[in-house]
């Protein structure tokens, strides 16, 4: 049996479909974010990163680095095993308190990633509810889809952010227990869910709500509690799920909810029980980022300011920016090969790194460059990016919009 051939065939299928992914070999430079070194095939080169989900640059914040170094120095590196075996390291307790407070919930439970939080949290919750029906937004992230699949219970998909469709399904489900699973901010299109209206429906039809705030925590709301905090809906959502790996600049994920729910997930979720806990230094760094962002609004304000500026400059340059009300700036290419080529040219000709977003992350024909400005992308960097993108668009024969007079 030629086992290697199975893998080689699988890879050639991806190459044929232009879906084979290549990761850039990057070295971030603390204190100089968004500048980084690209270890290119021709040697190291300075580049500017424009697609990081370290949205606020907290991964290089002195308080966060300080907390990580100090804790590792005091407590060592690893967690020493699962929480079942090794107990809970104290910085993890501190972090869970910080998270419960951030979301105004009784409790929080930390997992090793946002992915794992959804993948093990959703099925554990759903399996503990007899005869549960999960209603899932059509654009939910893969981690939620996998979690729902593992739940093994009935599921129905409602059209993305479509309240009428959700209501239709809720009504048809009658009095059985229901869990509505959705995201607050969809990271590829940058649009936002009507959280309060979904909570209204959930209340009317007796459903629980599970909200993924992965792309919003730290970034929205007066204390960085996310879109639900911004919209005054945190107390109405039953389970808030988030990540420590994006705006908080570290690694890990969590749910925040009532004490009994978190305790039940702690007691039943395989993806919680059977894996080594986050190391103390990682927990301390995340807690430092969360604490900082609860009171400092500079990062959030500057982040929104940069996103607005970037959208205006790219639009004025005639680039096809998809309209969003958030910090996500998708520039549409709508063709897989040209999307990859645009990303390659930006890197090789201009030292700008923006990962192409192709199928299956987005539907075929909607390929894009997904740009995520941070507080540290200044006006000069934005201008350089716009010029570089126009150059690349022209080289690839991609359409540019007519310049508007107002932008001239
Ligand atoms: N949920 C959503 C909506 C995501 O986009 C992601 C990852 O990008 C995750 C969950 C997983 O979070 P993490 O990166 O912490 O595993």
Ordered per-residue pLDDT tens for the chain, 408 residues: 999 999 999 999 999 888 888 899 999 999 999 999 999 999 999 999 999 999 999 999 999 999 999 999 999 999 999 999 999 999 999 999 999 999 999 999 999 999 999 999 999 999 999 999 999 999 999 999 999 999 999 999 999 999 999 999 999 999 999 999 999 999 999 999 999 999 999 999 999 999 999 999 999 999 999 999 999 999 999 999 999 999 999 999 999 999 999 999 999 999 999 999 999 999 999 999 999 999 999 999 999 999 999 999 999 999 999 999 999 999 999 999 999 999 999 999 999 999 999 998 999 999 999 999 999 999 999 999 999 999 999 999 999 987 654 444
Q: How far is the CA of 245 from the centre of ligand 1 (A)?
A: 8
403 CA distance to ligand 1 middle (Å):
36
CA-to-CA distance for 225 and 229, rounded, in angstroms? 5
Distance from Cα 188 to the centre of ligand 1, integer Å: 12
Measure Cα distances from 211 to 135, 337, 344 in Å: 12, 34, 35
| Pair 208, 180: CB distance under 8 Å | yes
213 lines ligand 1 (CB under 6 A): no
Residue of 51, 145, 214, 271 with the most ligand 1 atoms within 8 Å of its CB, for mutation: 214
Instruction: Clarify whether 203 is annotated catalytic.
Output: no
Q: Is 315 in the pocket of ligand 1 (CB under 6 A)?
A: no
C-beta neighbour count of 236 within 10 angstroms: 17
The position carrying tokens 């100089």 is: 32
Separation between Cα atoms, residue 36 and residue 16, nearest integer Å: 32
Q: Using only C-alpha atoms, what is the Rg of the chain? A: 22
Decide: 183 in ligand 1 pocket, CB within 6 A: yes
Check if 245 has its Cβ closer than 6 Å to any atom of ligand 1: yes
Q: Whose CA is nearest to atom 3 of ligand 1?
A: 141
Coil, strand or helix at 99: helix
How many other CB atoms sit within 10 Å of the CB of residue 64?
25
Q: Is the CB of residue 155 less than 8 Å from the CB of residue 133?
A: yes
**Catalytic residue, candidates 105, 178, 246, 311:** 246
Tokens of 299: 């990062």
Instruction: Report the C-alpha gap between 121 and 241 in whole angstroms.
Output: 9
């Amino acid at each position: 049996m030629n086992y290697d051939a199975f893998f080689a065939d699988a890879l050639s299928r991806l190459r044929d479909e232009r879906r084979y992914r290549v990761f850039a070999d990057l070295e971030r430079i603390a204190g100089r974010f968004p500048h980084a070194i690209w270890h290119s095939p021709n040697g190291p080169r300075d580049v500017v990163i424009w697609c990081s989900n370290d949205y606020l640059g907290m991964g290089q914040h002195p308080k966060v680095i300080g907390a990580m170094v100090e804790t590792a120095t005091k407590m060592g590196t690893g967690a020493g095993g699962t929480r079942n075996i090794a107990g809970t390291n104290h910085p993890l307790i501190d972090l869970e308190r910080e998270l419960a407070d951030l979301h105004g919930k009784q409790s929080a439970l930390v997992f090793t990633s946002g992915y794992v939080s959804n993948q093990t949290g959703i099925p554990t919750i759903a399996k503990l509810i007899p005869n549960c029906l999960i209603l899932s937004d059509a654009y939910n992230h893969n981690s939620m889809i996998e979690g729902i699949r593992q739940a093994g219970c009935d599921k129905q998909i409602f059209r993305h952010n479509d309240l009428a469709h959700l209501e239709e399904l809720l009504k048809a489900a009658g009095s059985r227990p229901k869990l509505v699973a959705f995201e607050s901010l969809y990271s590829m299109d940058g649009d936002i869910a009507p959280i309060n209206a979904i909570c209204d429906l959930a209340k009317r039809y007796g459903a629980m709500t599970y909200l993924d705030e992965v792309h919003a925590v730290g970034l929205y709301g007066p204390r960085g509690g996310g879109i639900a905090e911004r919209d005054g809906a945190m107390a109405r959502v039953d389970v808030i799920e988030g990540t420590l790996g994006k705006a908080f600049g570290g690694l890990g994920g969590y749910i925040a909810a009532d004490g009994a729910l978190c305790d039940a997930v702690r007691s039943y979720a395989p993806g919680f029980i059977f894996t080594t806990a986050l190391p103390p230094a990682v927990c301390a760094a995340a807690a430092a980022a969360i604490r900082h962002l609860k009171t400092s609004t500079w990062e959030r304000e500057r982040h929104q300011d940069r996103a607005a500026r970037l959208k205006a400059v790219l639009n004025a340059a005639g680039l096809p920016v998809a309209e969003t009300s958030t910090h996500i700036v998708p520039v549409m290419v709508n063709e897989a090969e040209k999307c990859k080529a645009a990303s390659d040219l930006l890197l090789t000709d201009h030292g700008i790194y923006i990962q192409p977003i192709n199928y299956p992350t987005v539907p075929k024909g909607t390929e894009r460059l997904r740009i995520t400005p941070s507080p540290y992308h200044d006006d000069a960097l934005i201008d350089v990016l716009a010029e570089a993108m126009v150059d690349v668009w022209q080289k690839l024969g991609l359409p540019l919009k007519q310049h508007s007079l107002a932008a001239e």
